[in-house]
Homo-oligomer: A and B are copies of this chain.
Amino acid sequence: MKLLVIHRGFEPEMGKWSVVGGFLQADESPEDSAARILKQQTGLEGVYMQQLKAFGDPKRDPMERVLSITYFALIDIDQYTEQLSEEYNPEWFLLKERPELIFDHNKMVEAALKKIRYMAALHPVLFELLPEKFTLPHLQALYTAVYDFEFDKRNFSRKVLSANLLIKQKEKDKEGSKKGAYYYMLDKSQYKDKLQSFLNFVPSPNNFLL
């Protein structure tokens, strides 16, 4: 699980590591603004973003009063390698090894991680991240990355399949192993109904919501 950061392009703290960010324009909604700024600074486009929280402490930027309405997105790095532009030197860091960020950006990242874990424990949002065809070991690796926890593959597959969201394919992925793992695809019709539903995708004794 990685975090995309950029070298800040203006003062103060120019050149230091920062979350992607910029200024809202007069006729722009916050969502549109977030999408525009993301594209300008990283090249990424067509990414589904969610509003996280507004940060507004009067002293959070020591130079002037700034309010930040933050958004986060989850993407599969591999599906966006083409798009990533170099203009602001965006860089992926392992979340655990990320550099110190300016201002309150560390708090933002922590809050986003917490929200992602919360959401993903209850809703099948992580399924969307994978390529069209993916294997169960692949999906499990994703959950392991998000929760930093090893899931039991027997229980994992039973739980995931019981949601009836996946359709088993006939082909196997032979990349990861000699035996090969069956591909699955999302059942889009089921998916929309169940996205909001109330499933525990994470074993309960592990209280990830703290």
A175 located at the interface, meaning its Cβ lies under 8 Å from any Cβ of chain B in the complex: no
* B residues less than 8 Å from A67 (CB atoms): 24, 30, 67, 69
Q: Assign chain A's interface to a size class.
A: 20 to 34
CB within 8 Å of B: which residues of A?
24, 26-30, 51, 53-54, 56-58, 65, 67, 69, 121-122, 196-198, 204, 207, 209-210
* Complex CA distance for A209 and B199, rounded to whole angstroms: 11
16 contacts between A and B (CB under 8 A): A24-B56, A26-B58, A26-B65, A27-B58, A28-B58, A29-B56, A30-B56, A51-B54, A54-B54, A54-B69, A56-B69, A69-B69, A196-B210, A197-B207, A197-B209, A198-B209
Known: A27-B58, A54-B69, A122-B209; 18 extra A-B contacts, CB below 8 A, are A24-B56, A24-B67, A26-B58, A26-B65, A29-B56, A29-B58, A30-B67, A51-B53, A51-B54, A54-B54, A67-B67, A67-B69, A69-B69, A121-B198, A196-B210, A197-B209, A198-B204, A198-B207
Main secondary structure of the interface of A (DSSP, over half): loop
Using CB atoms, name the residue of chain B closest to A202.
B198
Interface centre among A58, A65, A122 (most CB of B within 10 A): A58
What copy number does this chain have within its complex?
2
* Complex CA distance for A24 and B54, rounded to whole angstroms: 13
* Complex CA distance for A164 and B53, rounded to whole angstroms: 32
* Complex CA distance for A195 and B209, rounded to whole angstroms: 10
Interface centre among A27, A29, A54, A209 (most CB of B within 10 A): A54
